[in-house]
């Protein structure tokens, strides 16, 4: 089926983007752009795990340590704050589930 193929292709493009994130961030952006276009054209929704890696605003690849900054905030409920280093867009994700909290409750 076309949609299955598209899904595989999207997975592949994102794994390429991750692989090239450090050495060729420009390529990562190209892969992500292709994946987004494909998902639009085929109406395949981007899997949640990949949505974390795309900036909502500039649609470029968000990768912690290169194109994104990730901070953990402990205020109220613990959440991660992801900042796109290229357009400044900020996303917040609640961190749920048990597990040890990572100390360091500054701010
Ligand atoms: Zn951005």
Q: Compute the residue count for the chain.
A: 107
CA angle 81, 62, 76 (to 5 degrees): 10
Q: List the beta bridge partners of residue 83.
A: 69, 90
Residues 68 and 62 sit within 8 Å (Cβ to Cβ): yes
CA of 60 to the centre of ligand 1 (A): 6
Domains and CATH numbers, the chain: 2-94 (1.20.5.420)
CA of 61 to the centre of ligand 1 (A): 8
CA of 90 to the centre of ligand 1 (A): 8
In this predicted model, what pLDDT tens digit does every residue of 61-89 receive, in sequence order?
A: 999 999 999 999 998 899 999 999 999 99
In this predicted model, what pLDDT tens digit does every residue of 30-67 receive, in sequence order?
A: 999 999 999 999 999 999 999 999 999 999 999 999 99
CA of 104 to the centre of ligand 1 (A): 28
Is this model's pTM higher than 0.85 or not?
no
pLDDT attached to residue 97: 62
């Amino acid at each position: 089926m076309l949609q299955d193929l598209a899904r595989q292709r999207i997975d592949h493009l994102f794994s390429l983007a991750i692989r090239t994130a450090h050495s060729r961030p420009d390529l990562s952006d190209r892969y992500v752009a292709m994946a987004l276009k494909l998902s639009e054209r085929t109406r395949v929704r981007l899997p949640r795990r990949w949505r974390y890696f795309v900036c909502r605003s500039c649609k470029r690849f968000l990768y912690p340590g290169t194109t994104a900054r990730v901070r953990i905030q402990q205020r109220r409920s613990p959440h991660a704050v992801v900042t796109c280093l290229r357009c400044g867009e900020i996303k917040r994700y609640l961190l749920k589930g048990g597990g040890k909290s990572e100390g360091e409750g500054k701010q």
